[in-house]
Amino acid sequence: MTRTAAAWNMRQIAHIDLAPDDAEMYGGALKMQIQIKGGRRFMYAGCLWYRGVHILDVTDPARPQYVGNLPSPHKVSRSNIQQAGDLLIVSEDVPPPVPPNRWHPGLPDWSDDRPAERAGVTIYDVSDPRRPREIAYHHIPGRGCHRNYYDGGRYAYLTAATDGWAGHILIILDMKNPEKPEEAGRFWLPGQKEGEERKWDPKKLSEREGLHGPVYVMGDRGYASWGAAGMLVMDMKEPAKPKVLGQLRLSPPFDGGIPCHTAFPMLNRKLAVITQEAIAENCNETQPLGWVADIRCDWNPVSISTFPVPRPPAGLPYASFCVKGGRFGPHNVQHMSEPGDRRDDMVFMTYFNAGLRVFDIRNPFRPREIAYFVPPDPKPGLAVRSEDVYVEWDRGVVYLANRNMGIYVLELDEKAMDGGEPPR
């Protein structure tokens, strides 16, 4: 490992460089999904900005093979995707332009006056993963979609930024005929729709009560991460009329970044893992945290613990991740649908410049760090941005997506759960 990288109870087995030939500094990824088809494993990796969706054959995780790409339309980001069965749902959102002082070779120049070509979701038939076929496009007026949830059932749950609403809202899409999806319902909190009275400032993340998503729907219950409004437990029996049953607010006082970015239910244990997304660089905000919540009572979810805040091990050229540069704090956790039997006593959490952290939550009142992987620093001018994690539980393979540095393929030490404290 280089001097800027570190690992404990994890090892790297491969690295997937997604940088095109004309962009030495930018080859990152965000959301990942894996489809098992014909005895082979295909990864779909959504990318920020204009890199589209990459398709990779990861049947041999130590020797990934590039298959193809679903390019992004003009001024459209395809960073978030959902795959189930033979369908791939691709989010299409319109990101803000790159500030001139942040632009570097490899990023798109969207300074022209042409509008974004799409906003919403595009649906592909991936019965042949090497040749995806577009079968539908559902337009959402506005900035489009961010993090959605689809498990292959009747409905897809979209996180949508649409005209007439402040922040993202929930739009439920009927997928009975995936070639002609239809809106079945929508939900928002009071104050989000134009003309409704609101007591919060939509321009302030610490106050904005908008859906970040996804809304995980398990049976007739939904678990939604709604920004400053916290985690919502929802009754989803009627797609046209979702209802809030319970709510867990973390902000105030814990108002750092996006106060509720993810609310990941672990129903076997009646727990939820919550992350607050770090936004400000160099820790210029209240420190965002990861949380464990007790969701036994739909009407009264309660927080019961926080995850340890990572510290750099000895030997790295900084004593705190706050002075490393870039964002420091939680982001994403493992996915709901992954190959094999998911363990609900273990949490994989991306932590931006602190890489990937792995926690033991057998005792949910005292989460314990058991492994980490911090990628090497990218070229000057960029920061480590560990964004998403995907776990193949059946093979013990872990994929870490980095905004600036492709995808790291990792393995967790079999003895990681046995005990021990992280090196300091």
Classify residue 82: in a domain, yes or no.
yes
Separation between Cα atoms, residue 343 and residue 295, nearest integer Å: 18
CA end-to-end span of the chain, whole Å? 17
From residue 268, alpha-carbon distances to 265, 296, 336, 345 in Å are 9, 10, 13, 10
Mention every residue, 6+ apart, whose C-beta is less than 8 A from residue 182. Answer: 173, 174
Domain count, the chain: 1
> CB pairs under 8 A, 24+ apart, for 239-245?
239/155, 239/172, 239/174, 239/184, 239/185, 240/172, 240/184, 240/185, 241/185, 242/170, 242/172, 242/185, 242/187, 245/221, 245/298, 245/299
Two structure tokens written together for 362: 């057998």
Separation between Cα atoms, residue 235 and residue 249, nearest integer Å: 18
Classify residue 1: in a domain, yes or no.
no
Residue 50 has pLDDT above 80, yes or no: no
Separation between Cα atoms, residue 403 and residue 95, nearest integer Å: 15
* pTM for this model (two decimals): 0.95
Q: What is the tens place of the pLDDT at every residue in 355-401? A: 999 999 999 999 999 999 999 988 776 778 999 999 999 999 999 99
Separation between Cα atoms, residue 92 and residue 79, nearest integer Å: 8
Classify residue 52: in a domain, yes or no.
yes
Classify residue 47: in a domain, yes or no.
yes
pLDDT of residue 39: 96
Q: What is the tens place of the pLDDT at every residue in 138-190? A: 999 999 999 999 999 999 999 999 999 999 999 999 999 999 999 999 999 99
The CATH number that applies at residue 412 is: 2.130.10.10
Q: What is the tens place of the pLDDT at every residue in 69-118? A: 999 988 888 999 999 999 999 999 988 766 666 666 666 666 677 888 89
Range of the domain at 325: 6-196+204-418
Mention every residue, 6+ apart, whose C-beta is less than 8 A from residue 332. Answer: 262, 275, 349, 350, 387, 388, 389
Whether the Cβ atoms of residue 247 and residue 235 lie closer than 8 Å to each other: no
Classify residue 424: in a domain, yes or no.
no
Two structure tokens written together for 277: 């997304």
Two structure tokens written together for 303: 């927080």
Separation between Cα atoms, residue 336 and residue 216, nearest integer Å: 8
pLDDT of residue 405: 87
Classify residue 423: in a domain, yes or no.
no
Separation between Cα atoms, residue 14 and residue 411, nearest integer Å: 10
